């Protein structure tokens, strides 16, 4: 039994047509993916009584693109920190499955800020995860160049971060996260500080990169539109205490292009997700109110 099935809301509150789609072939394929990470009833309490996250359960399968969507204080970032091993659960378990582990280069992280070392060049920044494993720059050169080419920054190896625009810095940050070919990439609102045009472009490029690298992504965001465009699973979370209230699926095939952004299906998913988010924030956006 998976998390998606545990949650009655996944199909219950929506249209019959949508429920059919969920039961469709895409969903079956998704469930057939091998498991990567199991989050089992995880609770994190800071201090004595600040419950940052309560009873979170989530099965992450290889190839998933999961968005954690919710208002501030819903425990999205806490969940990412727990998965990355920076903090440990007060209760519950987080297990890596299928031979993966956070320490063996199987995990890449992208923060809201580009978080680059200003004293190091673009190439040296991308080198970091491998440098910390004791590998020399020369030995990593090919991987660094490939990662930079993947994010569209070939030719900028020798530039310093201050010479780059916000979007380009974020691309360096993404290159650093994927240079070790991780099986899981955690992204904590990576595009929130960027302008809309850059953000759309990076969303498109991110899907392309993921298709090429075939990795799993957990993506934290505030944006309904971003979560629908990018992910095949959306975990809607509520605050005080932080908890999962609903899991939605976006059964639309990849690759997704600009056409998807303007399609009726996209609009329907956005409406549904938006309703779930309003529920998470404690106000129902019904017309009869």
Partner 1 sequence: MTITEAARIEGAAAEAPLDPEELARQRRRRTEKVARWVLPALVLVLMLWGWNRLVVVNEIPHYILPGPGRVWDALMDNLGSLMGSWLITVQITLLALLVAVVGGVGLAVLFNQSKWASLSIYPYAVILQVTPIIAVAPLIFIYVDDVNLWLFTISDKIVGMLICAWIVAFFPVLSNTTLGLNSADHNLRDLFSIYGATRWQKLRYLQLPSALPYFLGGLRIAGGLSLIGAVVAEFVAGTGGVGSGLAFRILEANYRLKIDLAFAALLLIALTGVLIFAVLSLVSHLALRKWHESAVSRET
Give 127 or 260: the residue with its C-beta nearer to partner 1.
127
Q: Rg of the chain over CA atoms, in angstroms?
A: 19
Residue 21: both structure tokens together: 């789609």
- Interface pick for partner 1 out of 23, 50, 86, 139 (rule CB under 8 A): 86
- Comparing CB distances to partner 1, the nearer of 79 and 234 is 79
CB of 44 to partner 1, least distance (A): 16
State the nearest-atom distance from the C-beta of 180 to partner 1, in Å. 9
181 binds partner 1 (CB under 8 A): no
**What gap in Å lies between CA 124 and CA 127, rounded to an integer?**
5
CB-nearer residue toward partner 1: 54 or 76: 76
Q: Is 84 in the site for partner 1 (CB under 8 A)?
A: yes
Q: Which is nearer to partner 1, 72 or 103 (CB)?
A: 103
State yes or no: residue 89 binds partner 1 (CB under 8 A). Answer: no
Burial degree of 258 (CB within 10 A; 0-12, 13-18, 19+): exposed
Task: State yes or no: residue 115 binds partner 1 (CB under 8 A).
Answer: yes
How far does the chain reach from its first CA to its final CA, in angstroms? 37
Contact indicator for 239, 74 with CB cutoff of 8 Å: yes
> Would you count residue 119 as binding partner 1 (CB under 8 A)?
yes
Helix (H, G, I), strand (E, B) or coil at 39: strand
Backbone angles phi, psi at 91, to 5 degrees: -145, 160
Q: Which two tokens stand for residue 40?
A: 């089992």
Applying CB under 8 A, which residues contact partner 1? 81, 84-86, 102-103, 107, 109, 111, 113, 115, 117-120, 128-129, 131-133, 160-162
């Amino acid at each position: 039994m998976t998390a998606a099935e545990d949650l009655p809301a996944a199909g219950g509150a929506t249209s019959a047509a949508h429920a059919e789609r969920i039961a469709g072939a895409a969903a079956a394929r998704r469930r057939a993916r091998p498991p990567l990470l199991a989050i089992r009833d995880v609770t994190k309490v800071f201090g004595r009584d600040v419950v940052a996250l309560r009873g979170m359960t989530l099965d992450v399968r290889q190839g998933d693109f999961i968005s954690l969507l919710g208002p501030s204080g819903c425990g999205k970032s806490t969940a990412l920190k727990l998965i990355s091993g920076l903090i440990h659960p007060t209760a519950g378990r987080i297990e890596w499955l299928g031979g993966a582990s956070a320490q063996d280069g199987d995990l890449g992280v992208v923060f809201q800020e580009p978080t680059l070392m200003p004293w190091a060049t673009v190439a040296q920044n991308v080198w970091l995860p491998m440098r910390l494993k004791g590998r020399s720059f020369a030995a990593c050169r090919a991987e660094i160049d490939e990662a930079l080419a993947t994010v569209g920054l070939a030719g900028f190896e020798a530039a310093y971060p201050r010479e780059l625009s916000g979007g380009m810095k974020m691309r360096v940050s993404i290159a650093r996260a994927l240079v070790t070919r991780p099986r899981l990439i955690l992204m904590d609102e990576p595009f929130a500080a960027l302008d809309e045009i850059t953000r759309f472009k990076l969303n498109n490029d991110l899907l392309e990169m993921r298709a090429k690298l075939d990795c799993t992504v957990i993506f934290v965001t505030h944006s309904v539109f971003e979560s629908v465009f990018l992910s095949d699973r959306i975990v809607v979370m509520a605050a005080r205490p932080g908890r999962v209230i609903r899991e939605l699926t976006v059964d639309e095939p990849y690759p997704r292009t600009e056409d998807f952004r303007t399609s009726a299906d996209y609009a329907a998913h956005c409406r549904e997700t938006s309703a779930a988010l309003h529920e998470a924030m404690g106000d129902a956006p019904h017309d009869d109110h």
